[in-house]
Amino acid sequence: MSADTLALLEEKVLRTVETVQRLRREKEVAEAAASSGSEQLRGQVRALEQRNAELTKELSGMRTERDVLQSEQDAVRLRIEGLLKQVESLGA
């Protein structure tokens, strides 16, 4: 092997080592970012699940209130119909 060939080989080995070290650092940074992103997503999912539970409870309450109002409306309608029949009977 000539000195030039050895020098080229040494240079290639050094560049390869530098590339491997750089890639390892980049991998660590990417893994840390992914981990941080995953934690943020988990937090957002928990918040959305909590909000969903709150809205579901609120919706259930609104449905109950609607049912009560419909019952009251039906009762008022029946009373008015009864009153109208009485008024009609007075005019007859």
Q: Give the separation between CA 92 and CA 87, rounded to whole angstroms.
A: 9
Supply the pTM of this predicted model.
0.58
Q: What pLDDT does 2 receive?
A: 83
DSSP string, the chain: --HHHHHHHHHHHHHHHHHHHHHHHHHHHHHHHHHHHHHHHHHHHHHHHHHHHHHHHHHHHHHHHHHHHHHHHHHHHHHHHHHHHHHHHHH-
pLDDT grade for 4, boundaries at 50, 70 and 90: confident
Per-residue pLDDT reduced to its tens digit, 5-49? 899 999 999 999 999 999 999 999 999 999 999 999 999 999 999
Q: What pLDDT does 52 receive?
A: 98
Q: What pLDDT does 28 receive?
A: 95
Q: What pLDDT does 85 receive?
A: 94
Per-residue pLDDT reduced to its tens digit, 48-90? 999 999 999 999 999 999 999 999 999 999 999 999 999 999 8
